[in-house]
Structures are given as structure tokens and as C-alpha cells.
Amino acid sequence: METSASTEEKKELQHKVQQVYDEVGKVVVGQQYMVNRLMIGLFTQGHILLEGVPGLAKTLTVNTLANVLHLDFKRIQFTPDLLPADLIGTMIYNQKASNFEVKKGPIFSNLILADEVNRSPAKVQSALLEAMQEKQVTIGETTFKLDRPFLVLATQNPVDQEGTYPLPEAQVDRFMMKVHVDYPSKEDELEIMRRMSNMSFNDEVKTVLDKDDVFAIRKSINEVNLSESLEKYIIELIFATRDPKSYGMTDEASYIQFGASPRASINLNLAAKAIAFLDGRDFVLPEDIKEVATDVLNHRIILNYEAEADGVTTQDLIQTILNKVNVNR
């Protein structure tokens, strides 16, 4: 039987998490929000979909985070000619031994950056998403467990959609959160320009967390208390996306084609607990749920053409739902 982590151990882990922000900040400027969401995914076994225009340091942030966490990192550039074997591996013939051997692909790593995931055909996307869901891959007749921890961070470019293969809704639903990465502020961009235009800039970082720390943090997050009233609040939020009329949102109901799936309630629960832990608490507040609601829900609510015609976004609807649904204490 596992024992609960002591208060001192939890404080030490929370202190290390703060050091992760500091170390990543030595290289990456002004992306604390993205780093926070990446760590939530890592600590709760949830995969993250990053959406933003090129040049916003998505790859640099993930790479730096992997170094700070002392985890194996692989970047896979998704292209139209990529094959599933390029991702998971294949059987190759060894002439000396006169037999076939398994050559594992880059999916066998702790952090996977699937860059421009919508650039590759459906069969490659399916191979990646199967690995995400099952935490294992089959090469030939042998099934291999993937390394632990295992986290996929996929990126999409929302601007250039020519020649892309958009992820189907059922596959996008497997991502815990869809995080929109925005442009930096003027002050941050000035610092980025100064830092990156210095050709002698040192991008080395110290290792702060290791695999054992990640598993310990997962255990601590699992022990964070979520009251029954907040559990019911999460369910009410999810049901409001499916049947807005029952919550007094008649106008909004005409825009929503499909509401959020049960994965949304599971991930909202986990993400809220992670937020509470990262804030140094062992209990969840309603504000924690509201803070992660947009990232958890924005790829799970499917809008119709009427919403697009009227300029209504998923973020607008989520904000309306958060305003309408109350916590019953």
C-alpha cells in the first residue's frame, strides 16, 4: 500500500517545479503559460496540442523543457511522404545473422514533438494517436511498451492550411488540451530579439527534475482533494456544452453541433488538480476549473456553419457557459 507524500516532500517538489520555470526562462522568453500547460500534461499523463503561427518558440520550449527534466526528446517533422514505419519503427533484415530485427522508431522516447501534425496523411496520424492512447506499438508480431513517462506535444499552424490533412474530431479529442500560443508582448519580443541575435548566447540549462520526481508529482496530484460539489460543477459544465437550452442559453444552442465528450470531464478534473498542486494547495478551487476550461474544451465543442457565419468562436461559447453555470455549494 502506497503512503501519502509528506508535506515537506510536496513542498520540495513544488519548489523544483518553480525552478523548472526559472531554467526554461533562461532560454525561452515569456512563454510561462505554454510551459505551465506542458507540465500539466506531463504530470497528468495528458497529451497537448499546440496551435500557433511559426516562430513562437514552440519547438525551442519543448526541447528546453526536456533538457530541464532530463527526459529523452525526439522531434518528428510530419510531412506528406511520412510513413507509419518512420514513426514507430520497422523490421529490417540482418544479412550477417540471416534474420529480421526490430528497428525502433523515434516514438520510443519520453517527450515527442510532432511538428505540424496535420501535414501527414491519416495513416501516420492514426499510428501516432494509437501510440498516445494505448502507450504501446506493434512492430511485426511483437508489441512493445512505450517509455514512461510518455508525452506527445503536437503542433499545428492555423494559418497555412494548404496541403494539410486536418485531424478528425475523434482523434483531436485524445489530446488533453489544445493550447493557443499567441504572439509575445512588445517587451518580451524586444528581449527575444536581443537574446537570439547574440550569436554567443548560451542556451545551456540545468537539470531540475528527473523521472522519479515526475512520478512523485503525479502521485501528489492524485492526492489533491476535489470536493463533490466541484465534481458536480465539472459535470454541469460539460452537460451545458451538450444541451445549452437547459441552461438558459437558447441563442448559443443554435451554434453548437456537438458538445464535449466524457474525456472532457476526466481531463478537466485532472488539469484542475494539477493547477491546485502547482499553486501549492492540496484542494481544488472553482477558479482552478475555470482557468483550464478553455484549453480542455476548445477542441471538443464542434460548431456549425451558422457560428462561423456570425463570427462566434468556441472561446466565446466557453466563456458564456462559465458565466451561466454556477457552483452549487
In whole angstroms, give the CA distance from residue 316 to residue 73: 36
Quote the pLDDT of residue 274: 94
Torsion of Cα atoms, 81 then 83 then 89 then 91, to 10°: -110
Confidence of residue 4 (pLDDT cuts 50, 70, 90): low
Considering only CA atoms, which of 116, 119, 220, 127 is closest in space to residue 165?
A: 119
Q: What pTM, to 2 d.p., does this model score?
A: 0.86
The angle at the Cα of 257, spanning 255 to 263, to the nearest 5 degrees, equals 120
Considering only CA atoms, which of 222, 252, 325 is closest in space to residue 5?
A: 222
What cell does 132 get?
Answer: 498516445
Q: With left for phi above 0 and alpha for psi between -120 and 50, is residue 130 left, alpha or beta?
A: alpha
Considering only CA atoms, which of 271, 282, 264 is closest in space to residue 43?
A: 271
In this predicted structure, the answer to whether residue 251 has a pLDDT above a threshold of 50 is yes
In whole angstroms, give the CA distance from residue 227 to residue 206: 38
Considering only CA atoms, which of 229, 255, 263 is closest in space to residue 318?
A: 255
What cell does 240 get?
Answer: 451545458
What cell does 109 get?
Answer: 522516447
Residues 6+ apart with CB under 8 A from 252: 244, 317, 320, 321
What cell does 27 get?
Answer: 532560454
Measure Cα distances from 23 to 55, 166, 279 in Å: 21, 35, 18
Quote the pLDDT of residue 84: 85
In whole angstroms, give the CA distance from residue 116 to residue 118: 5
Quote the pLDDT of residue 291: 92
In this predicted structure, the answer to whether residue 186 has a pLDDT above a threshold of 80 is yes
Quote the pLDDT of residue 3: 53
In whole angstroms, give the CA distance from residue 204 to residue 73: 16
In whole angstroms, give the CA distance from residue 168 to residue 46: 18
Least confident of 32-36, 196-200, 285-289: 196-200
Quote the pLDDT of residue 277: 92
In this predicted structure, the answer to whether residue 2 has a pLDDT above a threshold of 50 is no
Tens digits of residue pLDDT in 10-62: 888 888 888 888 888 888 888 888 888 998 999 998 899 988 777 777 888 88
The number of CA neighbours under 13 Å toward the Cβ of 208 is 19
> Is the Cβ–Cβ distance between 165 and 118 less than 8 Å?
yes
For residue 247, give the DSSP letter.
Answer: G
| Phi and psi at residue 18, to the nearest 5° | -65, -35
Quote the pLDDT of residue 159: 63
Tens digits of residue pLDDT in 151-177: 888 888 766 555 566 777 777 888 899
Amino acid at site 292: V
